Amino acid sequence: MTAPDLYVYAILPAGLAADALGTGIDGAPLRLVDVPEGVAAVVHETTSGPYQGPDEDAKRWILEHSAVVERAWDITGTALPMTFNVLVRAGDEGTATETLRGWLRDSAVQLRGRLDALRDRVELRVDITLDRDRAAQDEPEVRALAAELDGKPAGVRRLLTKRLEKLQRDAVDAVADRVYPEYRRRLVGLAEDISEGRRGGRAEGQVPVLSAALLVHRDRVQELGAELARIQDEQPAAQIRFLGPWPPYSFSELRAPGASTA
């Protein structure tokens, strides 16, 4: 029989009882691999390798993975989440558990430092976009062209509509450039770290302004919500998605000692 690999969900401070965590992906029983240095990993044993399958399954697995991370994080107040599909494989030198223990021991100082730094911090996702039609409606050029459209033959209208869309896009892009520095400043003033988005502008007719993950102290979530409400109030064309609070997925990367935050 093959020695089992370990699927890893998160790194935590040691001392938690595994039965508090429930079950993992596909109902897998969870256990904790810990070391005297004070850190532990939440894992389940597997012999079937990394998860692979249709998107629907992958989504379910990812939700189950994140549910374990969130439960652990809710109980311990701090956690370093692993990405999906992280396995510790048994090697020539020992079982997967021994390999993982060795690594936890070697990295304990760094891991504990990061866990402490992230205690009581949450990740919030903020996505601000501008509704193109709404944000552009007051631009004089856009108005003039929109008025011109009326009563034109279909072919001309098609051409003018194209032109109108471009005018709107450029106008709203300029608005976005104007408001971005201020929004960023206001949000980042409440956050300890920020990681700007990889997405944004998904929805048709929406111009992205700012898409970011923010690392915020638990006690300041409300303040951030209030700031977003003010932004919404000042800018009716803004659409704001506000997600979380999550474990600090985007901020768990271990930095090399001495690395700057720049």
Partner 1 sequence: MAEPASLQPTRDPRVTLPDLVEVLLNKGVYLNLDLIITVADIPLIGVNLRATLAGMETMLEYGMMRQWDEKTRASVRRSIARQVPLLPDEDVVARMPGGVYADDFHHSWRPGTVYLTDRRLFVFRREPAELLWQAPWEHIRTAGLHSERAVGGEQRQRLRVELVDGTYHLLSTADPERLLNLVRRHLRGVGGPPGAGAIAASAAPLRESHAWYQERRAGSAVWRGGTARLDRRTGLTWRSPLDGRPAVNLTPRDITGVELRPARTPAGDSVVMAVATRDDTVLLAPDDATEWAALIRETVPEGAPRHELTEVQVGAHR
x/- contact string, 128-167, with partner 1 (CB under 8 A)? ----------------------------------------
Under the criterion CB under 8 A, does residue 84 sit at the interface with partner 1?
A: yes
Under the criterion CB under 8 A, does residue 230 sit at the interface with partner 1?
A: yes
Under the criterion CB under 8 A, does residue 246 sit at the interface with partner 1?
A: yes
Residues 6+ away with beta carbon under 8 Å from 242:
124, 125, 126, 127, 225, 228
Under the criterion CB under 8 A, does residue 80 sit at the interface with partner 1?
A: yes
Under the criterion CB under 8 A, does residue 188 sit at the interface with partner 1?
A: yes
Under the criterion CB under 8 A, does residue 103 sit at the interface with partner 1?
A: yes
Tokens of 220: 């300041």
By CB under 8 A, the count of residues binding partner 1 is 89
Reference 205, options 141, 133, 137; nearest CA is 133
Under the criterion CB under 8 A, does residue 58 sit at the interface with partner 1?
A: yes
Residues 6+ away with beta carbon under 8 Å from 229:
none
Q: Out of 17, 199, 236, 258, which residue is the one contacting partner 1 (CB under 8 A)?
A: 199
Under the criterion CB under 8 A, does residue 29 sit at the interface with partner 1?
A: no
Under the criterion CB under 8 A, does residue 204 sit at the interface with partner 1?
A: no
CB of residue 154 to partner 1, shortest distance in Å: 31
Nearer to partner 1, 138 or 253 (CB): 253
CA distances 1 to 47, 91, 99, Å, are 9, 15, 19
What's the CA gap between 100 and 6, in Å, rounded? 9
- The CB-side HSE value for 134 (13 A sphere, CA atoms) comes to 11
Nearer to partner 1, 21 or 228 (CB): 228
CB of residue 212 to partner 1, shortest distance in Å: 8
What's the CA gap between 22 and 72, in Å, rounded? 10
Under the criterion CB under 8 A, does residue 108 sit at the interface with partner 1?
A: no
Whether the Cβ atoms of residue 120 and residue 218 lie closer than 8 Å to each other:
yes
CB of residue 226 to partner 1, shortest distance in Å: 4
Q: Out of 220, 235, 237, 238, which residue is the one contacting partner 1 (CB under 8 A)?
A: 220
CA distances 117 to 46, 199, 209, 254, 261, Å, are 32, 27, 30, 11, 14
Reference 175, options 226, 235, 239, 241; nearest CA is 235
Pairing label, strands 206-217, 121-131: antiparallel
Under the criterion CB under 8 A, does residue 2 sit at the interface with partner 1?
A: no
Under the criterion CB under 8 A, does residue 99 sit at the interface with partner 1?
A: yes
Q: Out of 28, 112, 161, 200, which residue is the one contacting partner 1 (CB under 8 A)?
A: 200
Q: Out of 23, 47, 48, 83, which residue is the one contacting partner 1 (CB under 8 A)?
A: 83
Q: Out of 16, 18, 86, 108, which residue is the one contacting partner 1 (CB under 8 A)?
A: 86
Give buried/exposed letters for 88-103 (b at 16+ CB in 10 A, else e): bebeeeebbbebbbee
